[in-house]
Amino acid sequence: MSIVSEWNQAVVEEFRANGGEVGGHFTGRNLLLLHTIGRKNGDERINPLAYVRDGERYVIIASKGGAPTHPDWYYNLTANSVVSVEVGTESFQVRAVEAQEPERSRLYEKMVEMMPAFAEYRQKTERIIPVFVLTKVS
């Protein structure tokens, strides 16, 4: 059984109904659905996340809107790095690796170019916001 917060549920439903396209705040943005396994209870979690491409790789940012703590999915991803994603109408497995400097900063800037709000997120927090690179698993 998948667990999706009420806020995310509407985004997930719209994403799936429209082949990966979502309106509102996400209009014209790249969005994927990240499926992780809860590290404490083993339940599947689904989170819609903005992403940018870096070659064949997908890049996601654990910003939590600039909150002082990492999002829950960050901890699930660090506990189990092989997860699945939905991109458009495709679903596939990926391996997630946390980017290190200087790559982390370069990839973060790519996200800022697509969604300038990510620049604000890093100003709102003292933590270093993690960046993950997702690579398809063959």
- What tens digit of pLDDT does each residue of 5-48 get? 777 888 999 999 999 999 887 888 899 999 999 898 888 999 99
What percent of the chain is predicted at pLDDT more than 90?
80
What percent of the chain is predicted at pLDDT more than 70?
97
65: which DSSP letter? G
Half-sphere CA count of 130, side-chain side, radius 13 A: 18
Determine phi and psi for 132, rounding to 5 degrees. Answer: -115, 140
Q: Where exactly are the structural domains of the chain?
A: 2-136
Q: Does domain 2-136 have CATH number 2.30.110.10?
A: yes
Q: What DSSP string describes 80-111?
A: --EEEEEETTEEEEEEEEE--TTHHHHHHHHH
**Taking 70 as the threshold, does the pLDDT of residue 4 lie above it?**
no
* Bridge pairing between strands 82-87 and 31-37: antiparallel
Q: pTM for this one?
A: 0.91
